[in-house]
Amino acid sequence: MTNVPAASNTCLSLENVSISYGSQAAVSGVFMEIPRGKVTAFIGPSGCGKSTVLRALNRMNDLIEGCTLSGRVIFDGCDLYDRQVDPVEVRRRIGMVFQKPNPFPKSIYENIAFGARINGFRGDMDELVERSLRKAAIWDETKDKLKESGYALSGGQQQRLCIARAIAIEPEVILMDEPCSALDPISTLKIEEMMHELKKSYTIVIVTHNMQQAVRVSDLTGFFNVSSQSGSDRKVGTLVEFAETGQIFNAPKQQATQDYVTGRFG
């Protein structure tokens, strides 16, 4: 993927992005500029397309049969959906952490080392493993059991292991799709604290149903909603409002946003 220097501090730019599954439109007409070195949150009701848009940012939707995208997703000046672009390279530079922790059936050490090896890492693997686990705030809990299975960890520890695994391949962006929804409050707090540290080195985009979490961790928030397509009963996801998190929750410009963040959403 050709790296063209960006003209601004924008990391990812969505230009009139619409996504469909077969003949069913899922998301329509999204315009958004995601800044570098910040945490951006996507919020909204179920089915509004926020996870679909998140997966579009590193072409994970390519793996879903019948999923198509129109518009452009620009990353560092390059259209990610250009025919010349290798989606594997896209996913190396834009990593992803899923809702349910999914460690490999390998040791804690190999969970980190495996992806790095596949991506051609030739440096000090021990140092990379330690650095990745430290960045994911799980080194102290795992340093004495690196040869044990990743499955031996608790749910919250497994999720941080998966974040460390994503970090190990040295991405520039980390996408997180409801990374705390299956976790207890203490594990959630640890991951939120970790996000504040990670944004010093990475751009982070998170989907969350937890509005308090969006307030706690994000710098910017996009509110998605579902609306009826003209002349149809079909519902499609749209981006209603995108702004600094403080504005979205304290002084939104759209009534639908106000209704959602104050709990009056129907």
Confidence of residue 5 (pLDDT cuts 50, 70, 90): very low
Establish if 138 belongs to a structural domain.
Answer: yes
Residue 19 main-chain phi, psi, to 5 deg: -130, 135
Predicted confidence at residue 7, as pLDDT, reads 47
Pairing mode, strands 39-43 and 203-207: parallel
Judge whether 2 lies within some domain.
Answer: no
CB 96 within 8 A of CB 103: no
Residue 232 per-residue DSSP state: S
CATH number at residue 42: 3.40.50.300
Q: What is the pLDDT of residue 83?
A: 92
Q: How many domains does the chain have?
A: 1
Greater confidence, 119 or 179?
Answer: 179
214, 10 Cβ separation under 8 angstroms: no
Share of the chain above pLDDT 70, in %: 95
* Residue type (1 letter), 263: G
Alpha-carbon distance values, 132 to 11, 18, 49, 59, 128 (Å)? 22, 35, 31, 24, 6
Judged against a pLDDT cut of 50, whether residue 120 lies above it is answered with yes
- Kindly state the average pLDDT of the residues 229-249: 87
Residue 73 forms part of a structural domain: yes
**Residue % of the chain over a pLDDT of 90:** 85
* Cβ atoms of 43 and 208 closer than 8 Å: yes
Residue-wise pLDDT tens digits, 42-53: 999 999 999 999
Spatial strand order of the sheet with 78-79 comes to 78-79, 67-75, 10-21, 24-35, 235-244, 220-228, 39-43, 203-207, 173-177, 94-97
> Per-residue DSSP letters for 56-123?
HTTTGGGGSTTEEEEEEEEETTEETTSTT--HHHHHHHEEEE-SS----SSBHHHHHHHHHHHTT--S
In this structure, the dihedral spanned by the alpha carbons of residues 142, 186, 189 and 102, taken in order and rounded to 10 degrees, is: 50
Q: What is the pLDDT of residue 14?
A: 97
Asked whether residue 265 carries a pLDDT value surpassing 60, the answer given is no
pLDDT at 235 over 90: no
Inside any domain, residue 3 = no
Would you say residue 147 lies in a domain?
yes
Cα separation, 15 vs 32, whole angstroms: 7
Dump pLDDT digits (tens) for 90-118: 999 999 999 999 999 999 999 999 988 98
Instruction: Give the count of beta carbons closer than 10 Å to the beta carbon of residue 169.
Output: 21
263 confidence band (pLDDT: 50, 70, 90): confident
Q: The whole model's pTM is what?
A: 0.92
Domain span at residue 97 reads 10-261
208 has a pLDDT exceeding 60: yes
In this structure, is residue 210 part of a structural domain? yes
Local confidence band at 3 (pLDDT 50, 70, 90 cut-offs):
very low
Beta bridge partners of 206: 41, 176
In this prediction, residue 227 carries a pLDDT of 85
Is residue 4 domain-resident?
no
Q: Is 96 a domain residue?
A: yes
| 232 vs 51, higher pLDDT | 51
Per-residue pLDDT, averaged over 159-185, amounts to: 94
Greatest CA separation found in the chain?
A: 62
Contacts for 152 with CB less than 8 Å, ≥ 6 apart: 145
